[in-house]
Structure 1
């Protein structure tokens, strides 16, 4: 990627190439957007277009064509700059349009209207980059939040309910406030890539070793129970989606989420979402896991487990469904304490139903699988056995779960893991 690259911004069939620079200075990282300069002529065209739209109630493109015909001496550069800003502000997302189109940007945030917008960049995970994007004042920032309600999105914001949680048309998750419950307007947009990363992508990026990816692929396909655990932004959902993308095409998959994050290229895929509401109309994850079993899926995937649905997950696993989920815990001890303590209260014996737990983290500025462990019941006590050797490769001889699954399905797991490892490292023709 380097320190500079170009973001392709496409609006209403028009494509603009906007340069972006990543700058490091004194321990801080900056995300600098180089939008076209809008001088006097550009500003005049913009003003007249907006006036024409209000007077005649016409589309922005029709107004642009009319105004340019009426004006003399508008050169190409001024015209393109005016068109860019008009489309950016009317048809797209105003000042944050470029980072929303940038495939490398994962989050866009406004934490204080008087400070610049910040972003989280895929090449610098866990670091917030300060941008040169600012709102001119609190009123403009508040109007920006209100604009999402006016777009006809499923949630509204008002003084009675001064926050909004919704999904943008592109699939990104938007959360914002207009003040009242925060010191001025704020927002956070979590972006999700249009094309999810594959296991091959994650191997090539160094998130995990080929043998580890092959092990997880095999455990998942053989209907094991995989839990991916780690802190926020450590790549849990990315890894989950990549593993899910390897499930057999003939199988049936049900995903359960609060908001749509998981994307899998699968023809027999049922997506379920929780629903807010009062006690009678609310639909929670526990309800959906129980409902999912009725669909007779081969695999059930829960975006993140954090409530009583965990009990339904273990029951579904015991019934023979393949299970994939994520969890917030950074160490095995923390995972056991959280699962077995209130409000989850999982019976420690049920944790043996887990096939494997994958721990992710951000190390040296990169998302990585830092441990893969299998639960064992030893002398009346639950323990976790580490499977990764010093090189970060899975040691198959340490794995009890994969050998159990191999015997059940009648396959040679050593040969199967070698075959899958080779497939994951093959270069495309």
Structure 2
């Protein structure tokens, strides 16, 4: 018997299938048309297709030619077996089978849509998507858990990883940089759970974030100066708050002649500069050996003559190595971490270093953080689904045993409009000369910085109190 319709006939998908995205309404409705009889028909056609097709020859064709070949054979099978279907049902069946053979099965229509931020599959019968910050249930389903598992294995095998009972958790990425997490039974009770954080094909810029209201034009200008002037920055925020997007935006202002090295668990940063080296961690193999941790990567970076080191996500003892790098001539290094406020981000960095087994006094760790981190940019996802940059905060130094910070920009929530969307405003705190002023002057950016700070104060004065 077949291992499910998603069985990896050809290990790599030849290319994303160019099926046009169906309208949102179609996907958000419960899919009543996909009855058991539809899956039985599809199973019959699929089995006949496996017997009729030469997989070795199919693997040599490009995506479009392979798709046409499959369509021709499926049409013949439908005619020979006298399967009664309307033209639209036949087209739907053809698309489904092509997606199963060449791509990622039922996920293909969702991957083709550019408005989806997350795809969450909870077992074979339940698929949720996030659109515009809100989560919706779709009518997409898989034939069974085996088909879903086969598609998960196909995804992770693209980046040389595996997921099975002996290694049930896996992080991977799609060809377009979308981040994938898979957890399978026995850890996931109701069948494989697959989560895809999709990347938009169009790279977001600070100008677009300004248009969306995530930051004011003046705040955006200050972020550009922070990116350009090699200010050591940490981007802090909760899950799904837009940290990686914001990090991608900041890196656009790095000069083209700088050597940048990125370290990530699953490579998802999309840097535009010509001189970039991308490094990725590696999980242990089946014998439990060969693991390469984030700490190993950051330590190795220091021997690669980097000018900037960018860590996709700081979540453990690599925080110590990143701080060391920031403090030893690799100015302008950046990283993201999970925290709900700038103050909490500093505490989390301290606890990460402590948990890494470094027996350093608390004051020493704090002094190291102060000497290394210049700016914390806080991102947040609000309850209406909108994403805002809520703080641009400078780290000033120590007073006693406490780290002193000052906010340059803050976001204040004012209320809620008739549609349930939160209303708020960004305001400048009136700081006229931030701590990185001298660095901005060194890079010839002090006039732009002064103009942005002045404009922010004028804009703030015009706001209703």
TM-score (norm 2): 0.75
Correspondence for 1:214:
221
> C-alpha displacement at 1:217, in angstroms?
1.5
Correspondence for 1:397:
431
Please identify, of 326-335 and 388-397, the stretch whose mean Cα deviation from structure 2 is larger.
Answer: 388-397
Is 1:178 the counterpart of 2:184? The answer is yes
* In structure 2, distance between residues paired with 1:45 and 1:62: 17
* In structure 1, distance between residues paired with 2:148 and 2:50: 20
Correspondence for 2:347:
337
CA deviations over 1:126-184 (Å, ceiling 9, x no partner): x4211112345xxx123321344356432223333334433233333332233112213
Structure 1 runs, 4 residues or longer, greater than 6 Å off: 10-13, 33-46, 72-75
* In structure 1, distance between residues paired with 2:38 and 2:139: 24
* In structure 2, distance between residues paired with 1:110 and 1:66: 31
1:286 to 280, 290, 295: 295
CA deviations over 1:32-60 (Å, ceiling 9, x no partner): 48899899999869844651441453646
CA deviations over 1:186-231 (Å, ceiling 9, x no partner): 2222222334311112111111112112112212211111111111
Residues 13 and 336 of structure 1: is their aligned pair in 2 closer, same or farther, counting only changes over 3 Å?
A: closer
Correspondence for 1:4:
none
* In structure 1, distance between residues paired with 2:154 and 2:343: 47
* Equivalent pairs, count: 398
8 A contact 1:289–1:313 mirrored in 2: yes
Structure 2: where are the runs of 5+ without partners?
Answer: 1-13, 59-66, 357-361, 413-424, 457-465
* In structure 2, distance between residues paired with 1:409 and 1:244: 16
Residues 36 and 97 of structure 1: is their aligned pair in 2 closer, same or farther, counting only changes over 3 Å?
A: farther
8 A contact 1:16–1:84 mirrored in 2: no
Correspondence for 1:384:
405
Structure 1: where are the runs of 5+ without partners?
Answer: 1-9, 23-29, 423-429
CA deviations over 1:59-104 (Å, ceiling 9, x no partner): 4643532453683998754543332122122222222221122111
8 A contact 2:394–2:406 mirrored in 1: yes
Is 1:144 the counterpart of 2:148? The answer is yes
Correspondence for 1:120:
130
* In structure 2, distance between residues paired with 1:95 and 1:17: 12
8 A contact 1:221–1:247 mirrored in 2: yes
8 A contact 2:170–2:181 mirrored in 1: yes
SS of residue matched to 1:243: helix
8 A contact 1:120–1:129 mirrored in 2: yes
For 1:140-289, list aligned pairs within 5 A. Answer: 140-150=144-154, 152-153=157-158, 154-185=160-191, 186-277=193-284, 281-289=290-298
* In structure 2, distance between residues paired with 1:108 and 1:148: 13
Residues 280 and 106 of structure 1: is their aligned pair in 2 closer, same or farther, counting only changes over 3 Å?
A: same
Correspondence for 2:369:
351
Residues 268 and 415 of structure 1: is their aligned pair in 2 closer, same or farther, counting only changes over 3 Å?
A: same
8 A contact 2:31–2:139 mirrored in 1: no
* In structure 1, distance between residues paired with 2:126 and 2:39: 25
SS of residue matched to 1:337: helix
8 A contact 2:236–2:337 mirrored in 1: yes
Residues 343 and 203 of structure 1: is their aligned pair in 2 closer, same or farther, counting only changes over 3 Å?
A: same
| RMSD value, Cα | 3.5
SS of residue matched to 2:190: coil
* In structure 2, distance between residues paired with 1:329 and 1:404: 29
Correspondence for 1:5:
none
CA deviations over 1:110-139 (Å, ceiling 9, x no partner): 2344x5211122x12xx4211112345xxx
8 A contact 1:108–1:189 mirrored in 2: yes
Please identify, of 163-172 and 281-290, the stretch whose mean Cα deviation from structure 2 is larger.
Answer: 163-172
SS of residue matched to 1:109: strand
1:302 to 311, 329, 342: 311
* In structure 2, distance between residues paired with 1:51 and 1:309: 53
Residues 283 and 56 of structure 1: is their aligned pair in 2 closer, same or farther, counting only changes over 3 Å?
A: closer
Residues 370 and 163 of structure 1: is their aligned pair in 2 closer, same or farther, counting only changes over 3 Å?
A: closer
TM-score (norm 1): 0.80
8 A contact 1:45–1:68 mirrored in 2: no
Say which structure is richer in strand.
1
Please identify, of 44-53 and 152-161, the stretch whose mean Cα deviation from structure 2 is larger.
Answer: 44-53
8 A contact 1:226–1:354 mirrored in 2: yes
Residues 402 and 287 of structure 1: is their aligned pair in 2 closer, same or farther, counting only changes over 3 Å?
A: same
CA deviations over 1:274-306 (Å, ceiling 9, x no partner): 122278732222222222223222221111112
* In structure 1, distance between residues paired with 2:39 and 2:163: 34
Correspondence for 1:97:
108
Residues 135 and 224 of structure 1: is their aligned pair in 2 closer, same or farther, counting only changes over 3 Å?
A: same
